[in-house]
Amino acid sequence: MLEGLADGRWALLQKTHHATIDGASGVIMRRMFTDLTPDAEYGYKSKPWTGEEPPSQAEMLQRATMHLVTNPVKGVRLGLGLLRDVANAAGIKSVSDVAGRARDGVGALTKMADPTHDRRESVSLPVSSAPPTPWNKAISPHRRFAMCSASLANLKRLKDVTGGTLNDVVMAICTGALRAYLLKHDGLPEGPLRAMVPVSIRTGEEEDPWTNRVSAIVADLPTNCADPVERVALCREAMNVAKHQLPMRSRRSPISRRPSS
């Protein structure tokens, strides 16, 4: 509740996490809540819902084992990652370096063994490790949050000039900010960063509009590119590639206009 507005008015601020409901459902619900017509009808009927029974520890172990069996590359990388972490904890630098290089090489070997890799309709998540940055560390209580606003009209003008989408422009701006920060702190890696981008997989054919149709893709952020215009093109190319991580019918634009880095 926000009080103290002009003319004795007040406002109600509602914040909902995407884990609870996605944007499309949120818009429908907000219209229903704020409709001034007392007899408005929307045609949405309530349906009984029963949640799944929580899996037991044995069932979770069984599912994890089956997942690793059907994804051998992931299993190998997991084992090498554990070996590297143990070696780091024990201070055995030589073993850690070897395990890390072997883990990174699994992806390259997989592509070499599969000549049709680049011709598949969809691709899996990247198997190589993300480049080291100051943020690839354990989260501590010592953190800060900052935000800023930008003119939507200006962003749209940049979109028209560069020939990209609004999302491409915002991703390129975020990439430029990350690049400037890393340069200032002498931590810019040679390769691009990697971001998890939330995307909507809503097709418009769902019978129940209240379900949360949200997924995520992993895309490269071209922080290694100094030219801001070229960064927009690289962001567009990276997103086009990353969208193949989803089934064809689920490929949609990101639900958020900013990447999660």
pLDDT tens digit sequence for 108-128: 544 544 444 444 444 556 656
Handedness of CA 184, 190, 192, 195 (dihedral sign): negative
Does residue 124 belong to any structural domain of this protein?
A: yes
Do 211 and 162 lie in one domain? The reply is: yes
Phi, psi angles (nearest 5°) of residue 11? -135, 155
Separation of alpha carbons 243 and 122, rounded Å: 8
Answer whether residue 41 shows pLDDT above 60.
yes
- Whose tokens are 């020939």? That residue is 163
Last residue of a domain, one of 114, 129, 144: 129
Of 197, 233, 194, 199, nearest in space to 213 by CA? 199
Encoded tokens for 145: 């949050």
Does residue 201 belong to any structural domain of this protein?
A: yes
Letter for the amino acid at 257?
R
Q: Which residue has the higher pLDDT, 208 or 95?
A: 208
Does residue 171 belong to any structural domain of this protein?
A: yes
Q: Which residue has the higher pLDDT, 60 or 160?
A: 160
Q: 157: domain range?
A: 152-250
Encoded tokens for 194: 């990697």
Do 173 and 103 lie in one domain? The reply is: no
Stretch among 193-207, 226-240, 247-261 having the lowest mean pLDDT: 247-261
CATH at residue 193: 3.30.559.30
Helices in the chain by DSSP H: which ranges?
Answer: 23-34, 57-70, 72-90, 93-113, 152-162, 166-184, 228-242
Separation of alpha carbons 175 and 164, rounded Å: 15
Say what percent of the chain tops pLDDT 90. Answer: 22
Listed ranges 43-57, 64-78, 230-244; the one with the highest mean pLDDT: 230-244
Supply the pLDDT for residue 121: 47
Domain count, the chain: 2
Of 137, 176, 140, 153, nearest in space to 258 by CA? 176
